Amino acid sequence: MKTKIPFEILKHKPPSTTITYKDGIYYLYKTTSKRVPGMKYPQATKTYIGTIDESGISYGKTKIDPNSLRVYEYGYSIFVYRICMKTKDRLRNRFVNYDDIFKYLIAGLSFNSCFDNPSFKITNININYWSEVLKEEVVGLDENLESLKKVYKVVSDSKEFIVYMDKEAKKILHKYGVVL
């Protein structure tokens, strides 16, 4: 049996949302649709927003499917990308796709970097030479950057967030003015 939703609740309902009633509580969902190959009509997708009552919306915690999580090393890669400008400038003077090459070199310095791109192809470049150039610039910073390799970016289908596993990483990022 369908429950009629009172006007006091409907006035707080944002567009592109649906309300469902269960056990005396009104739940609010964002509603979208997407085409699915082989299906005649688009399929509806509902994302939980929170509960809704006469006083407004109470935003709830979004449930994240752990199987959809992807985790990347983020702190070290972004730090090197923003600080090691000498190598980046040298690449810029020699290659049209210098930024892709620079990211490729950074990914080679850190396991599971956010810059990993298995489809990127290196052509007409001495990758070993440029890797050494970048390593020398990183070493020249005279800083122990290992703690930055413990800063991760966690990505799900609906959210992204950064996880710091080492307090030292925040100090280094702050010292160099790098904001993640």
pLDDT tens digits, one per residue of 59-104:
776 666 777 888 999 999 999 999 999 999 999 999 988 999 999 9
Of residues 65 and 174, which shows the higher confidence score? 174
Within this chain, do residues 82 and 53 fall inside the same structural domain, yes or no?
no
What pLDDT is attached to residue 76? 94
Regarding whether 14 and 88 lie in a shared domain, the answer is no
Query: What is the mean pLDDT of the segment spanning 37-66?
Result: 82
135 with 101, same domain? yes
**Tokens representing residue 120 in the block:** 């990127």
In terms of average pLDDT, the best of 24-28, 42-46, 132-136, 167-171 is 132-136
- Which whole number is the average pLDDT over 105-112? 90
* Half-sphere exposure of residue 57: CA atoms within 13 angstroms, side-chain side: 18
pLDDT in the model for residue 1: 55
Q: Is residue 153 located within the same domain as residue 107?
A: yes
pTM of the model: 0.63
Instruction: Note whether residue 119 is domain-resident.
Output: yes
Containing structural domain, residue 16? 7-59
Q: Is 77 found in the same domain as 128?
A: yes
Provide the Cα torsion 119, 124, 126, 127; round to 10°. -10
Determine the straight-line distance between the first and last CA of the chain, rounded to whole angstroms: 50
Give pLDDT, residue 167: 86
Q: Is residue 151 part of a domain?
A: yes
Could you tell me if residue 21 is inside a domain?
A: yes
Residues in the chain: 180
**13 & 88 share domain:** no
112 and 38, same structural domain?
A: no
In a domain, 2, yes or no: no
Average pLDDT, the chain: 87
Higher pLDDT, 122 or 152: 152
Task: Give percent of the chain with pLDDT exceeding 90.
Answer: 29
* Total domains, the chain: 2
Bridging pattern class, strands 25-34 and 43-53 = antiparallel
Beta strands, E only, 35-114:
43-53, 56-59, 70-73
Instruction: Judge if 74 and 55 occupy the same domain.
Output: no
Q: Is the same domain home to 47 and 96?
A: no
pLDDT at 45 over 60: yes
How crowded is residue 102: how many other Cβ atoms within 10 Å of its Cβ?
A: 24
**For residue 1, is it within any domain?**
no
Distance CA 163, CA 166 (A): 9
pLDDT the model gives residue 143? 84
- Counting beta carbons within 10 angstroms of the beta carbon of residue 131, is it exposed (0 to 12), middle (13 to 18) or buried (19 or more)? middle
